[in-house]
């Protein structure tokens, strides 16, 4: 059951450059998407989210783009910093507004930002 897929297990970028992390989904009922960052032995840390009624959401260095027709979203980090090195998870949810919603996670992408 791979409803949310992150096809790149790892990504390396130079400090100061752009990091682009990708995520694909198959379930057309998903209407809310989130990105999390995770360090070893810690819980996922919420970064940014986007509703399916939007195609872009920006928060500081982080921008998430959603292409509903392609069932694809991406996280851009500009500029990348060494402290951004972590595993990044894409997650998606579906359901009624105001209801509890389970998140379906991708397998994660290990981002390494090289100084």
Partner 1 sequence: EPEVTQTPSHQVTQMGQEVILRCVPISNHLYFYWYRQILGQKVEFLVSFYNNEISEKSEIFDDQFSVERPDGSNFTLKIRSTKLEDSAMYFCATGELGEQYFGPGTRLTVT
DSSP β-ladder status, 62-67 and 19-25: unpaired
Nearer to partner 1, 79 or 101 (CB): 101
Contacts 24+ apart (CB under 8 A), 65-70: 66/33, 70/24
- Minimum distance from residue 9 beta carbon to partner 1 (Å): 11
How buried is residue 103: exposed, middle or buried, by Cβ count under 10 Å (0-12/13-18/19+)?
Answer: middle
Per DSSP, the three-state class of 37 is: strand
Residues of this chain that interact with partner 1 (CB under 8 A) are 32, 34, 36, 41-46, 49, 51, 89, 91, 93, 98-108
- Minimum distance from residue 1 beta carbon to partner 1 (Å): 10
- Minimum distance from residue 8 beta carbon to partner 1 (Å): 15
Nearer to partner 1, 8 or 104 (CB): 104
């Amino acid at each position: 059951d791979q409803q949310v897929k992150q096809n790149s297990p790892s990504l390396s970028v130079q400090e100061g450059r752009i990091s682009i992390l990708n995520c694909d989904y198959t379930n057309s009922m998903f209407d809310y998407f989130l990105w999390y960052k995770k360090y070893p032995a810690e819980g996922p840390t919420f970064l940014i989210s986007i509703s399916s009624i939007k195609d872009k959401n920006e928060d500081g260095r982080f921008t998430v783009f959603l292409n509903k027709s392609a069932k694809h979203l991406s996280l851009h980090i500009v500029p990348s910093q060494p402290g951004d090195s972590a595993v990044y998870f894409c997650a998606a949810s579906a359901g009624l507004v105001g209801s509890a919603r389970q998140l379906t996670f991708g397998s994660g992408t290990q981002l390494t930002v090289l100084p």
